[in-house]
Amino acid sequence: MMMPWLRKTVLKKLLLAVAAMIEARTPHTAILATKLPLEVEREDMRPQWLRRLLSTGQLRSDRELEPFARDALRMASSGGQTVVIAMDQTDLSDRFAIIMVSVRIGERALPLAWWVEEGAANLGFEPQRQLLDKIREWLPTGTPVLLSADRFYGTVELLRYVRRVKWPYRIRLKSHFSVDTGQGELTTTGELAAGCRERYLPQVTLFAEGVPTAIGILQEPGHPEPWIIAMDCPPTRARVLDYGLRWGIEPMFSDLKSRGFEWAESHLEQAKRLDQMILIMALALHWCVRVGWNDPLELPTPLEKKAQEQTSDDHWNVRKMLRSRLSWFTRGLRKLYRLVENGLPLPPFWVPT
């Protein structure tokens, strides 16, 4: 049974909310409530039902998402691949600050864990530590990991953390951090980057605390600012560009924020309720992506079949297929809609592996 720790009534309510989220694609509670597949005596009971679910103390986002997060991590590490963990901070208007940790799968990311607090602010290291500790518990044993994090997270505490847990890392740095190059030169990261296209410093210490790291600097044409990347290994251009692997998080945020579930439409005013709403959106996102990922394996399009039959020397159809391919999220969403419209059975919400 999925989520055996939940009472059956609570689990059923959670799944009904996920179904409504996929149909309504909005966290606006008044709209979402109208899509709940419930039989009620009065329509005003629907929003009450949803508010009670969001405020219940029986749901915990990290616990309820854990089976899906573990599956995503196993998928990302299949074949011995390095698992790219991205950490980013976003906000919801000026009302909430959110740390999101995700895993890169293919060209996109899936949410693993998050932290929500009221107010627009940097949330500090303690929430980061708790989220990353949770991810470490969920990772398959022996999985190689690369942590990629934005400028919110270039801190003494995070660098010490990744060194302690022995994770390779690519962490973008702000331009005002103090640097000791070890050659009698005390400067800042911005001064090191000024006027240069590329620069690689294999041994420096950061901040007043003298945290050892390597730094790679790359200013690409057309980019307003250089990438100043702290890393655990001798810096090269390719290793600086590893930081770009985190951009898989952008399609995920687009699915949550705009083209998918429009989380900016939420009018919730309490962090606990927003956390539960993000859980509903994340479960819907995981289901759509898994359905979309399985669809070409189970029911490939004629072009996909043709591309699979091509030799390695015939790239034209492969390129054409890749250009025309929908995102896993969009493909999964469309398949679920199609199955519902035709009255056909839905793919399982979760399959234990």
Q: Which residue has the higher pLDDT, 90 or 141?
A: 141
The per-residue pLDDT for range 225-266, each reduced to its tens digit, is: 899 999 999 999 999 998 887 766 666 766 676 666 777 777
Provide the CATH number for the domain formed by 62-251 in this structure: 3.90.350.10
Task: Give percent of the chain with pLDDT exceeding 70.
Answer: 88
Query: What rounded mean pLDDT belongs to the chain?
Result: 85
More confident residue, 153 or 286: 286
Q: Is the model's pLDDT at 218 over the cut of 90?
A: yes
For residue 90, what pLDDT is reported? 79
Q: What was the pLDDT predicted at 160?
A: 94
Q: Which of 146-155, 228-237, 287-296, 323-332 has the highest mean pLDDT?
A: 228-237
Residue 314 has pLDDT above 70, yes or no: no
In the predicted model, is pLDDT for residue 316 greater than 60? no
Distance CA 336, CA 340 (A): 6
SS (H, E, C) 269-310: CCHHHHHHHHHHHHHHHHHHHHHHHHHHHHCCCHHHHHHHHC
Could you tell me which residue, 349 or 147, shows the higher pLDDT? 147
Domain locations in the chain? 62-251
Q: Which of 124-133, 307-316, 320-329 has the highest mean pLDDT?
A: 124-133
Give residues with Cβ within 8 angstroms of 13, minimum separation 6.
Answer: 49, 53
Task: Give the pLDDT band (50/70/90) at residue 56.
Answer: confident
Higher model confidence: residue 150 or residue 212? Answer: 212
Provide the β-strand partners of residue 227.
218
User: Residue 92: what are its φ and ψ, rounded to 5°?
Assistant: -120, 100
Query: In whole angstroms, what is the distance from residue 212 CA to residue 55 CA?
Result: 45
DSSP labels for 84-101?
A: EEEEEEEEETTTEEEEEE
Containing 43, the helix (H) or strand (E) segment is none
Q: What pLDDT was estimated at residue 229?
A: 94
The predicted structure's pLDDT at residue 248? 61
Task: Please report the pLDDT score of residue 304 as a whole number.
Answer: 64
- The pLDDT of residue 297 is 75
Q: What is the pLDDT, as a whole number, of residue 190?
A: 92
Among 61-70, 79-88, 248-257, 311-320, the minimum mean pLDDT is found in 311-320
- Of 29-43, 87-101, 254-268, least confident by mean pLDDT is 254-268
Q: Taking residues 274-284, what's their average pLDDT?
A: 92
pLDDT of the residue at 279: 94
Do the beta carbons of residue 268 and residue 215 sit within 8 Å? no
The pLDDT of residue 192 is: 92
Which tens digits make up the pLDDT trace of 117-169? 888 667 788 999 999 999 999 999 999 999 999 887 778 999 999 999 999 99
What is the structure's pLDDT at 1? 57
The pLDDT, as a whole number, for residue 303 is 65
pLDDT band at 351 (very low <50, low <70, confident <90, very high): confident
**pLDDT > 90: what percent of the chain?**
41
Question: The pTM is what?
Answer: 0.87
pLDDT of residue 323: 42
> What's the one-letter identity of residue 305?
K
